[in-house]
Amino acid sequence: MYIGKAAQLSGTTVKSIRHYEEIGLLPAPQRRGAYRIYNEQSVELLTFIKCAQQLGFKLKEMQAILDQHRGQTLPWEVVSNAIARKKHAVMNQIEALQQVHAGLEEFETRFAMEGPELDLACVQSLGYNN
């Protein structure tokens, strides 16, 4: 199939496919004259890349995973480890955002209570001064 069909089936764009090829994330396809010819394996790999991106993986992270990709199967142990690391990083981000949210709630409460009289000491007591 041609690049447009591969893009359509995988939910990505022609531009993205070309970029993935340039950076070595997607193996160069066979050619028929000036046209790139993609197979089902290419579409599956493109779908995997698209899905991983939507779940927060960076292209560099996917390169590390796919560097170990041989033949028709993905290195599931490597993928599983990468998922575990990503989940841990996301949990850390969630915790940090929850702390920011709690600080905003406290700031909002104090501002509502003290209004224009809210002073620097009050803001500093929240622990968010540099």
Residues in the chain: 130
Q: What is the dihedral of CA 51, 53, 56, 57, to 10 degrees?
A: 110
CATH class for the region spanning 1-55? mainly alpha
Percent of the chain with pLDDT over 70: 85
Are 69 and 43 in contact, with CB atoms under 8 Å apart? no
Structure tokens at 82: 């990468």
Write the pLDDT tens digit of every residue in 78-99: 889 999 999 999 999 999 999 9
Q: What are the two backbone dihedrals, phi and then psi, of residue 70, each rounded to the nearest 5 degrees?
A: -130, 135
Residue 130 banded pLDDT, cuts 50, 70, 90? very low
Write the pLDDT tens digit of every residue in 95-122: 999 999 998 998 888 878 777 666 666 6
Higher pLDDT, 118 or 76: 76
Are 24 and 5 in contact, with CB atoms under 8 Å apart? no
